[in-house]
Amino acid sequence: MQEDKAPMTSDHSKLKIPHVLTVAGSDSGAGAGIQADIKACAARGVYCSTVITAVTAQNTVGVQGVNVVPEDFVGEQLKSVLSDMEVDVVKTGMLPSIGIVNVLNQSLREFPVQALVVDPVMVSTSGDVLAGPSILAGFREDLLPLADIITPNLKEASALLGGQQLETVSDMRSAAKLLHDMGPRNVLVKGGDLPDSLDAVDVFFDGQDFYELRSSRIKTRNTHGTGCSLASCIAAELAKGSPMLQAVKVAKRHVESGLDYSKDFVIGNGVQGPFDLLFRLKSYAQNSWRQVGFNPNDLFLYAVTDSRMNKKWGRSITDAVGAAIEGGATIVQLREKDVETQGFLEAAKACLKICRSHGIPLLINDRIDVAIACDADGVHVGQSDMPARIARTLLGPEKIIGVSCKTPEQAHQAWIDGADYIGCGGVYPTNTKENNLTVGLDGLKAVCVASKLPVVAIGGISASNACSVMQIGVPNLKGVAVVSTLFDRESILTATRELHVVLQEAASMSVQRTH
C-alpha cells in the first residue's frame, strides 16, 4: 500500500468523494456484514461500494445457511469496481474460501489502493463458522502482510496465533505484538468479549507504542455487527485522510454512541440483536413519538412561554406548559431568554414529556442545540437567529421550523429556506419585545397574501382583539401566538380557555361567511 496519501482531487473542479470498497458477506438480518458496512460508511459520510463474497441466511438466533459466491465472480465484482471507481480504501470482512483470498490478493496488486483494513471474520458471535480454519494460512501469508490494520476480536486473534487463550488486557497486548510480527502495519485487538471487564477495552499497536482504548461498556443485547461497523468506520476515516490512530479512535467512539442509541430496541427473538448506527431511538424509546409531519392547524392557539413571567408568578415552566395545554393550547414554544443552558435543557425535556403525552408539538425558540439535545419537535427562529436553511440541515427533514417575518420578502425567503410556517408580527404593540416594529393588521394581511406558508399572528394579541385578527379573511392565517395573554395571568388555565373560546367563535364565523 502507498505510504503517502494521494490528494483527494486530481481535477479541482470536481469533488472527489471518499470511497470505501467493502469485500464481505451479506447478513440477511442486516446487523453485520455488507449491510453494517454500508450503514457505517453512510453514517461517516463516505461512499461505499460492495463486493459480496457470500450470502448468509442469518438472524438474531444464529446463522442458518451460507451460500459462498464462486471465486471467479468475486473477481469479476472486484474488477468492475476497482477498474472504474477510484476506491481509496478496501475493507474486508467475511472471506469464506482460500480461493476468494487469492482473487482479492491479485486484484489489490493489480489495482493498488491507499489502505487495506482487514477484519479477519471467522466465527459469528453466535458461534457459527463463517470462514473455517483452512482460511488461516491464506490470512497469515497473503493478506496480513498487505494490511494497514487488522481488527481481530479475541477469538480471531487467538485463532490467528494458533489457539492461545486471551483473557486479560495484558494477553491482548502480547497478541497484538505477535500479530504485528505477521506483517500488518497496525493491529487492533478488540476486547468486546473480554470477560469481567467493566469497560470496553481495545488494544492498538502500531509497531512501536501500545494504546489502550477504553469506552464505557453499554449494557445491551444489541451488539451484533459492532466489529464490522468498527472496521468500516476505520476505513471511512482513512478514506477521508485521517491518520490511523485518529481513525481508530473516531471509529470506536462512533460504535459506542451507536450502541447507546440502539441499546433498547427489540428486534428478533434470539440472544443477540442487531446494533444500528443510523437509528435515533430516543423518541421511540419514550414510546410516544409525535406523528411525523407538520399540521398547520396546530398553529391555532400557539403558547409561547416566558421565564420572567413564570418567575413573577412563582411557577415552574412545566406547570405553566401543563396548564396552557389543559386550557386548549395546540402548540407550545419554549422561549426562555434568561435561563442557563443546562436548566433550559432539563426544562425542555420535562415539557417535552408533557407535550408528547397530549400529542402537542413542542418547539424551542432560537436554540437549535437545545432542540437537538432534547429531540424537540422543532424550532422557531427570528431574522437574526440561525438561518432557517442551516437550521433545516442541522435538524433534518422532518422537524418543524418556524421563522419570524415582517415582510412579504422575508416570508418568501422562509419558504425558499424550507421553513414550515411563519410567525408574523408584532401585530399590536407589546411589552414582551422591546423596540419591536408593529406591522398592524394591514401588514399582517400583506404578509399572509404573499406567503406560501401557513401563518401565525403574534404580538399584543389577547382575547379582546384575537377575533379581529382572525377575521382579516386570509385562508393561510391559521392562528394566534400569545405570551402575556396566557402567562402573565393569575390562572393560565382560565386565560387559555378564554382565548380558545374566542378563537373558536372567530373560526365558526369565518366558516359561516364562506358558506
Ligand X SMILES: Nc1ncnc2c1ncn2[C@@H]1O[C@H](COP(=O)(O)OP(=O)(O)O)[C@@H](O)[C@H]1O
Ligand Y SMILES: Cc1ncc(COP(=O)(O)O)c(N)n1
Q: Which is nearer to ligand X, 192 or 327 (CB)?
A: 192
Q: Strand order of the sheet with strand 63-68?
A: 63-68, 47-58, 19-27, 89-92, 115-118, 149-150, 186-189, 199-205, 210-216
DSSP three-state, residue 287: coil
Cβ neighbors of 170 (< 8 A, separation 6 or more) are none
In angstroms, what is the minimal distance from the CB of 74 to ligand Y?
14
Would you report the helix, strand and coil content of the chain in percent, each value rounded to 5? 40, 20, 40
> Residue from 22, 49, 56, 97 that binds ligand Y (CB under 6 A)?
56
Taking the C-alpha atoms of residue 278 and residue 257, their distance in angstroms, rounded to an integer, is 10
CB of 55 to ligand X, least distance (A): 20
Q: Which does 230 bind (CB under 5 to 8 A by kind): Mg ion, ligand Y, ligand X, none?
A: ligand X
Question: Applying CB under 5 A, does 124 fall inside the site for Mg ion?
Answer: no
The one among 21, 121, 325, 388 contacting ligand Y by CB under 6 A: 121
Do residues 398 and 289 lie in contact, with contact meaning Cβ atoms separated by under 8 Å?
A: no
The nearer residue to Mg ion, 18 or 192, going by C-beta atoms, is 192
Instruction: Exactly one of 33, 125, 138, 190 is catalytic; name it.
Output: 190
Nearest to ligand Y of 62, 112 (CB atom): 62
Q: Is residue 77 at the binding interface for ligand X, with CB under 6 A as the rule?
A: no
Query: What is the DSSP secondary structure assignment for residue 404, as one 8-state letter?
Result: E
Q: Enumerate residues 88-117 that contact ligand Y by CB under 6 A.
A: 93-94
Q: Is 33 in the site for ligand Y (CB under 6 A)?
A: yes
Report the amino acid identity of residue 429.
P
Residue type, 109: R
Choose between 56 and 186: whose C-beta lies nearer to ligand Y. Answer: 56
Please, which of residues 214-233 interact with ligand Y by CB under 6 A? 224-225, 227-228
Prior bond of 328 cis (ω within 30°): no
Interface with ligand Y (CB under 6 A), residue total 18
* 162/8 Cα distance (integer angstroms): 40
Alpha-carbon distances, residue 380 vs 11, 388, 429 (angstroms): 41, 9, 21
Site string for ligand X, 124-153 (x = CB under 6 A): -x---------------------------x
Nearer of residues 153 and 305 to Mg ion, judged by Cβ: 153
Q: Tell me, by CB under 5 A, how many residues bind Mg ion.
A: 4
Q: Can residue 423 be called a binding residue for ligand Y (CB under 6 A)?
A: no
Is residue 25 part of the annotated active site? The answer reads: no
Using CA atoms, how far apart are residues 447 and 424, in angstroms rounded to an integer? 7
25 binds ligand Y (CB under 6 A): yes
Q: Is 448 a catalytic residue?
A: no
In whole angstroms, give the CA distance from residue 297 to residue 363.
15
**Does position 125 bind Mg ion by CB under 5 A?**
yes
Beta bridge partners of 90: 21, 116
Q: Which of residues 160-219 bind ligand Y (CB under 6 A)?
A: none
Rounded to whole angstroms, how far apart are CA atoms 26 and 439? 61
Taking the C-alpha atoms of residue 228 and residue 289, their distance in angstroms, rounded to an integer, is 30
Binding site for ligand X (CB under 6 A): 125, 153, 190-193, 200, 202, 215, 217-218, 223, 226-227, 230, 252, 255-256, 259
Would you please indicate which residues are annotated as catalytic (active-site) residues?
A: 190, 223, 225-228
- Binding footprint of ligand Y on the chain (CB under 6 A): 24-27, 32-33, 56, 58, 93-94, 121, 124-125, 130, 224-225, 227-228
Contacting positions for Mg ion (CB under 5 A): 125, 192, 226-227
